[in-house]
Structure 1
Amino acid sequence: MSAPVLSVRDLKTSFFSQRGEVQAVRGVSFDVHPGEILGIVGESGSGKSITCMSILRLLKSTGRIMGGSANFDGQDLMALDQGDLRDIRGNKIGMIFQDPMTSLNPTLSVGEQVMETILRHRKATRAEARARAIELFELVRIPSAAERLKSYPHEFSGGMRQRVMIAIALACDPKLLIADEPTTALDVTIQRQILLLLKDLQKRLGMAVILITHDLGVIAEVTDRIVVMYGGLVMETGPVHDLFATPKHPYTQGLLASVPDLRDDTHRRLTPIPGSPPDMAHPPEGCPFTARCPHAMQQCQAALPPVFGEGQGARCWLHHPDAPKVAGVNEVAA
């Protein structure tokens, strides 16, 4: 396998307030390879969006990166000064932010917002930047591209605004695209259009993509590998087909069990995950899923498990060689 486009190791991010330190990301590691779509999934508060905002160092003033590295294109993004980092953001790494309704500047035409990125990172005239903007609008399938450059965000539907956001992110042919909940606030039909568009663009342009979502249906349809996060940690990672077929972590199993299966006509009730996520101002010493796990052991409370396994790894003590056998977790169910 070729060298990763992005290699994140032991990334830690905290936020500080009157409550004290909130440990949002507690040692996250993963790789993204060329031409790959990596999905990061987890419920709200799991740390998935903060992980990617930390990689680009786009945290709010109360946030602080406490440790770790993010090696991109031979450079550690954590060690760069702000000038060098600005040359990478929007240029070599594109970002699609959450909620297209509010991510665009309402006082500027959409064409100006696309051209702004091109003029910032490329030695281009305004005429060249405008021509590139038209090309991008056509690429993301915005009809009447030249005419729509003059439009303002309020004149676009939610799905069309998201296409503008994608055009901005692709303006400088990035090696890596980070899409943070790109289907938020869109109806189901438009969600599918946007996802298929992203997958098509990834194939045509050959870039790597990180897709952040809490929607397992999104993950299943377009990604190659999955990172499952909970409590600021990576709980399981592996190829999408393996992880859906044989999930190894009880949290992953709980996520999959809580999703309705449209092929099932027995009208069975959904199986929710009981309890609530941990308080990250006072994270547990052991596995953060212990209080909600149906297979929790004393060891789970005492110490945080490492990730067991290579191709498909799970952060669970049940995958220790000496752990008791549990059907469906560390042995095949009868």
Structure 2
Amino acid sequence: MSVLLEVRGLRTAFHTSRGKAQAVRGVDLTVKPGEILGIVGESGSGKSVTCMSVLRLLKRAGRIEGGEVLFGGRDLLTLSEGQMSDIRGSDIGVIFQDPMSSLNPTLTVGEQVMEVILRHRGGGKAAARARTIELFEMVRIPSAATRIDAYPHEFSGGMRQRAMIAIALACEPKLLIADEPTTALDVTIQKQILSLIKELQGRLGMAVLLITHDLGVIAEAADRVMVMYGGMVMEEGPVARIFAAPRHPYTQGLMASVPDPRTAGEGRLAPIPGSPPDMMQPPAGCPFAPRCPAAMNVCDAEAPQLYAAGAAHRSRCWLMDPDAPQQGGAA
């Protein structure tokens, strides 16, 4: 199967008054047509910055300092802003984390969907309005023909997120980037939104890059998962394989800190001790070493490569090295 999106050696930093924060440090990833890749990790791990770098939507202080972002064979980092504007909303759709702050409160929701259609497809306002009603029905916004003229504050949180999905899908993109699409929603609405994204992904045949801190979302929706920490990829592979046999101590720690409904009330959760690294001065070695129960001397000195851990499964851990001692030993 061909590759739709390929990121090679991406490095992104934020230049601040305190110095340079190295938010993304040499990230590689691939997304195939029709695939859902989930990116998971704690806040500050580099998930959203990676995807905003792909879209070239970084805040003013953010700079892409190296790497390639190949989309359909074209390096997006070499395109002009005008060329990128043609791709955003057309070939690549995006659902942002907070729909209330992403929608313009002074325009009707329908106008905001129509704006995308007219910008990328043309065809006149009547055709754009008809297409918007069709999209509202597709994402299951009730009474679509009348709700098209409502303002964002007249929609519930779940309906606003559905409207954001309609905007993202207006031009039937090849790739949908969903940045924490269920964070601000209650559990019932979360499940509805995830089911809707999966259904539309299957119907339209698009690829999805799903960013989340919630392993439950990954289990529900993704085909493959990429675990990030300290601006680096710690582990990646098929969802079923990683959930059954995680190889990186960070992935194991994430899973141990999630409540299991089958054992509710039996013992306490096991949180990961310590704090994420300071990206102003990222460690020379493995970024997880200060918090890792299996850390060795080499972990502080040098960052490991991504080692093969099975079919399409890789882990960035010195414990995977053929010469590594048993877990808990010293280098």
CA distance in 1, matches of 2:17, 2:133: 48
Tell me the CA shift for residue 102 of structure 1: 1.3
- The one-letter code sitting in structure 1 at the alignment partner of 2:177 is I
- CA deviation digits over 1:81-136, x for unaligned, max 9? 11111000000000001111211000000000000000000131101100110110
Partner of 1:129: 128
Corresponding residue for 1:14?
A: 13
Question: Aligned AA for 1:88?
Answer: I
AA of the residue aligned to 1:220? A
Corresponding residue of 1:199:
198
Deviations 1:160-179 (A, max 9, x none): 00000000000000000000
Q: Which residues in structure 2 correspond to 1:1-334 (within 5 Å)?
A: 2-265=1-264, 267-309=266-308, 311-326=312-327
Q: Give, as a single letter, the amino acid of the residue that structure 1 aligns with 2:162.
A: R
The DSSP-based 3-state class of the residue aligned with 2:262 is coil
Shift of 1:228: 0.2
**Per-residue deviation, 1:266:** 5.3
Q: Distance in 1 between matches of 2:16 and 2:294?
A: 35
SS at match of 2:24: strand
Structure 2 residue aligned with 1:330: none
TM-superposed deviation, 1:325: 2.5
Letter in 2 for 1:314: S
What SS does the aligned partner of 1:173 have?
A: coil
| Partner Cα distance (1:172, 1:182) in 2 | 19
Partner of 2:111, secondary structure, is helix
In structure 2, what is the Cα distance between the partners aligned to 1:235 and 1:145? 44
In 1, Cα distance between the equivalents of 2:122 and 2:166? 19
**1:125-167 Cα deviation digits (max 9, x unpaired):** 1011001101100000001111111000000000000000000
State, as a whole percentage, how many aligned pairs show the same letter.
Answer: 68
For residues 217-249 of structure 1, the C-alpha deviation after alignment (integer angstroms, 9 at most, x for no partner) is: 000011000000000000000000000000010
> Residue type matched to 1:234 in 2?
V
Q: Which moves more between the two structures, 108-117 or 120-129?
A: 120-129
Partners of 1:124 and 1:269 in 2: CA distance: 59
Deviation at 1:252, TM superposition (A): 0.1
> What residue in structure 2 maps to residue 332 of structure 1?
none
Tell me the secondary structure at the aligned position of residue 113 of structure 1.
helix
Deviations 1:39-70 (A, max 9, x none): 00000000000000000100011000000011
Q: Secondary structure at the match of 1:21?
A: strand
Cα shift at 1:267: 1.8
Matched position secondary structure for 2:110: helix
User: SS of the counterpart of 2:209?
Assistant: strand
Structure 1 position 196, deviation (Å): 0.6
How far, CA to CA, are the matches of 1:305 and 1:74 in structure 2? 29
Amino acid at match of 1:147: T
Q: List runs of 5+ in structure 2 lacking aligned partners.
A: none
Aligned length: 326
Q: Structure 1 CA distance, aligned partners of 2:142 and 2:109?
A: 14
Instruction: Compute the displacement of 1:311 (Å).
Output: 1.0
1:307 and 1:79 map into 2 onto residues whose CA distance is: 28
The separation in 2 between residues aligned to 1:144 and 1:254, in whole angstroms, is 45
- Residue 265 of structure 1 deviates from its aligned partner by 4.5
Alignment partners' CA distance in 1, 2:41 and 2:306: 17
**Secondary structure of the structure 1 residue equivalent to 2:39:** strand
Using the alignment, how far apart are the partners of 1:11 and 1:265 within structure 2? 41
For structure 1, the 5+ residue unaligned runs are: 328-334
AA at the equivalent of 1:258: S
Measured against aligned partners, the alpha-carbon deviations of 1:187-238 in whole angstroms (never above 9, x if no partner) come to: 1111111011101111111100000000000000110000000000000000
Q: Distance in 1 between matches of 2:107 and 2:100?
A: 14
The CA distance in 1 between the partners of 2:234 and 2:45, in whole Å, is 10
- TM-score, length-normalised on structure 1? 0.96
Q: Provide closer, same or farther for how the CA distance between residues 265 and 213 of structure 1 changes in structure 2, counting only shifts above 3 A.
A: closer
Amino acid at match of 1:283: P
